[in-house]
Amino acid sequence: MTAPAIILSRPQMGENVGAAARAMKNFGLTDLRLIAPQCGWPNERAKVLASGAGDIIEKARVYQTAAEALADIRLVFATTARGRDILREILTPEAAARRLRAATGEGLATAILFGGERAGLDNDEMSLADAAVTIPTAEFPSLNLGQAVLLIGYEWLKSADATPASRTRKTVAVPAARTELVQLFEHLERELDAAQFLFPPEKKETMVRNIRAMILRSGLSDQEVRTIRGMIVALVRNKYRGKI
Amino acid sequence: MTAPAIILSRPQMGENVGAAARAMKNFGLTDLRLIAPQCGWPNERAKVLASGAGDIIEKARVYQTAAEALADIRLVFATTARGRDILREILTPEAAARRLRAATGEGLATAILFGGERAGLDNDEMSLADAAVTIPTAEFPSLNLGQAVLLIGYEWLKSADATPASRTRKTVAVPAARTELVQLFEHLERELDAAQFLFPPEKKETMVRNIRAMILRSGLSDQEVRTIRGMIVALVRNKYRGKI
């Protein structure tokens, strides 16, 4: 399965091509193609800005027209700033990434087309794309080329990323067994009772319930339960020490 | 409802603070806070790089410690590169954005904490956060500060973005009424029949079905149906012209 090609049309600044290459590498994209680079090619600034992604710059292929750059591509989306009046399907980056992922899963060569810094893509280039992609922004849309490639690359990686939405390091954070928690509750309540904290008696039950809820909410591990019990022991001992 | 504060701890380069401000503005974030900026403050490079987001730089507040910067904050997530061994819940940017959105909806002040370029956040700073956020990357994780703020800001905006995954400009692309399509089908099939294209007779039904499916797949508008019918008329007229 080959990741989508990133195709930059008439980029004006080598810096931006370098930033695009670096963004690509962060998200597992490697096939960089340039259409008629206005910045000149090869380009020293691009190499410097690419930093650890120099290999992507070295292997970048240069074409004179979009048709040539897209020759082997079977599914291509064109990025556009919003508000452009085109008769065309417009996808969110997330939806575009899902479709690219499905197509590459079927062995198809895919690509995403980015316009130059000033003018974007021209109508001829747009007419070669299967759909447009627009990155949602607030009222101030000033994403540069490197940022646009970064966000599209991020969605590409996310579309196959199995990272759970929330996780906790397993080795250290197995939640405590209920019996450990019950022992903690009883230990704490016994000491609180002895310290006359659970007062007046008619409120004791509610107070205990609230304290237990507060402790449960923190999702303690066995080790943390033991730490808290140690703290209780230490505090109680200290109290007696002060009194005796 | 106030959007989350972006808090940068000990940033080393003004350029990166400027890029962060610019990323913020793209996604509707305005509250920038700095903890002990190593780059010096106010900072000229930050202003230059912020470009259209100079107001965010102007209004940025400076604190000496994370505790001071977070004083009014009720929910805060700390960004970390992956692999850090902490006993803590780790969220994806998407999950973090959803939680921040829910909390701000309840009127709570929220924030996202970013470490300095070299060392990231220290353990004291991490200990003030409710959970960690890690941006998924390929094996080459080299997101800089501006890029990290950009991706988190993007997820923040997305968490309330109602843009449909796929859309087509309504003013120009109302799908054709079925009756228009049927007229197109009948027109085309009549002409193809006359031209003896639908041959041999036993395959005619299948050919017609395939042609109709192909046309339907392109989701034509009324105007496009009319254009195609015009093309058919023109082609037919031309054929007769050639013969007569």
Predicted local distance difference test score (pLDDT) of residue A243: 56
Of A85, A87, A165, the CB nearest to B92: A165
Q: B120 and B226: one domain?
A: no
Q: A102 and A215: one domain?
A: no
Final residue belonging to a domain, choices B129, B158, B187: B158
Residues B73-99: b if buried by 16+ CB within 10 A, e if exposed: bebbbbbbeeeeebebbbbbbbbbbbb
pLDDT in tens, A158-173: 999 877 777 765 444 5
pLDDT in tens, B172-189: 456 788 888 889 999 999
Q: Is residue B190 part of a domain?
A: yes
Q: Cβ of A136 and B28 within 8 Å?
A: no
Q: Is residue A118 part of a domain?
A: yes
Q: Cβ of B138 and A167 within 8 Å?
A: no
> Choosing among A86, A92, A221, which should be mutated to test the B contact, i.e. which has the most B CBs within 10 A?
A92
Tell me the range of A136-145, A146-155, A189-198, B122-131 where mean pLDDT is highest. Answer: A146-155
pLDDT in tens, A87-109: 578 899 999 999 999 999 988 99
pLDDT in tens, B70-120: 999 899 999 988 655 555 788 999 999 999 999 999 899 999 999 988 888
Q: Is the pLDDT of residue B170 over 50?
A: no
Q: Is residue A47 part of a domain?
A: yes
The token duo for B10 is 């000990």
Q: A98 and A201: one domain?
A: no
- Please state the ipTM of this predicted complex: 0.78
Quickly state the pLDDT bin for A86 (edges 50, 70, 90).
low
- Residues near B63 by Cβ (< 8 Å), separated by ≥ 6? B33, B34, B35, B36, B69
User: Token pair 């797949």 is at which residue?
Assistant: B217
The token duo for A107 is 């062995």
Separation between Cα atoms, residue B194 and residue A21, nearest integer Å: 56
Backbone angles phi, psi at A62, to 5 degrees: -110, 135
Of B136, B151, B157, the CB nearest to A137: B157
Q: A147 and A200: one domain?
A: no
Q: What is the CATH number of the domain that holds B72?
A: 3.40.1280.10
Q: Is residue A112 part of a domain?
A: yes
Residue A153 near residue A99, CB atoms below 8 Å: no
Residue A222: in which H helix or E strand, if any? Answer: helix A222-243
Q: Cβ of B90 and A27 within 8 Å?
A: no
DSSP string, chain B: -PPPEEEEES---HHHHHHHHHHHHHTT---EEEES-TT-SS-HHHHHHHGGGHHHHHH-EEESSHHHHTTT-SEEEEE--TT---SSEEE-HHHHHHHHHHHHHTT--EEEEE-BTTTB--HHHHTT-SEEE-----S-----HHHHHHHHHHHHHHTT----SEEE-TTT-PBPPHHHHHHHHHHHHHHHHHTT-S-SGGGHHHHHHHHHHHHHHT--BHHHHHHHHHHHHHHHHHHHHHH-
Separation between Cα atoms, residue B103 and residue A100, nearest integer Å: 34
Predicted local distance difference test score (pLDDT) of residue A155: 97
Mean pLDDT, rounded, for B24-47: 96
A221: nearest Cα among A190, A166, A184: A184
Predicted local distance difference test score (pLDDT) of residue B22: 94
Q: How many contacts (CB atoms, under 8 Å) link A and B? A: 126
Q: Is the pLDDT of residue B20 over 90?
A: yes
Write out chain B residues lying below 8 Å of A157, CB-based: 136-138
Final residue belonging to a domain, choices B127, B158, B189: B158
Q: A96 and A197: one domain?
A: no
Q: B192 and B108: one domain?
A: no
Q: B108 and B224: one domain?
A: no
Structural domain including A135 reads 5-158
Q: A75 and A139: one domain?
A: yes
Final residue belonging to a domain, choices B158, B187, B222: B158
Q: A144 and A205: one domain?
A: no
Residue A57 near residue A21, CB atoms below 8 Å: yes
Q: Cβ of A136 and B157 within 8 Å?
A: yes
Q: Is the pLDDT of residue B53 over 90?
A: yes
Predicted local distance difference test score (pLDDT) of residue B69: 95
Q: B103 and B190: one domain?
A: no
> Choosing among B169, B174, B225, B227, which should be mutated to test the A contact, i.e. which has the most A CBs within 10 A?
B169
Predicted local distance difference test score (pLDDT) of residue A60: 98
- Residues near A22 by Cβ (< 8 Å), separated by ≥ 6? A49, A50, A51, A52, A53, A146, B142
Identify the residue with better confidence: A179 or B239.
A179
Weakest-pLDDT range from A63-77, B37-51, B102-116, B159-173:
B159-173
Q: Is the pLDDT of residue B34 over 50?
A: yes
Distances from the Cα of B202 to the Cα of A142, B188, B196, B213, B215, angstroms: 59, 19, 13, 19, 22
Q: Is residue B167 part of a domain?
A: no
Predicted local distance difference test score (pLDDT) of residue A173: 57
**CA-CA-CA-CA dihedral for B231, B237, B241, B244, to nearest 10:** 150
Residue A113 near residue A125, CB atoms below 8 Å: yes
Q: A112 and A44: one domain?
A: yes
pLDDT in tens, A13-63: 999 999 999 999 999 999 999 999 999 999 999 999 998 999 999 999 999
The tally of domains found in chain B comes to 2
Write out chain A residues lying below 8 Å of B51, CB-based: 142
pTM: 0.79
Q: A108 and A198: one domain?
A: no
Predicted local distance difference test score (pLDDT) of residue A170: 46
- A213 CB burial (10 A radius; 0-12, 13-18, 19+): exposed
Q: Is residue B231 part of a domain?
A: yes
Mean pLDDT, rounded, for B131-151: 88
Distances from the Cα of A230 to the Cα of A132, A236, B187, angstroms: 61, 10, 87
Predicted local distance difference test score (pLDDT) of residue A1: 61
Write out chain A residues lying below 8 Å of B150, CB-based: 147, 150-151
Pairing relation of β-strands A89-91 and B166-168? antiparallel
Mean pLDDT, rounded, for B122-144: 85
Indicate the residue type of A241: R
Pairing relation of β-strands A32-35 and A61-63? parallel
For residue A77, give the 3-state DSSP assignment. Answer: strand
Q: Is residue A184 part of a domain?
A: yes
Indicate the residue type of A242: G
> Choosing among B25, B154, B225, which should be mutated to test the A contact, i.e. which has the most A CBs within 10 A?
B154
Quickly state the pLDDT bin for B14 (edges 50, 70, 90).
very high
pLDDT in tens, B193-235: 888 888 899 988 888 888 888 888 777 888 889 888 888 887 8
Q: Is residue A137 part of a domain?
A: yes
Quickly state the pLDDT bin for B128 (edges 50, 70, 90).
confident
Indicate the residue type of B105: G
For residue A119, the 8-state DSSP code is T
pLDDT in tens, A201-214: 998 888 888 888 87
Mean pLDDT, rounded, for A222-244: 77
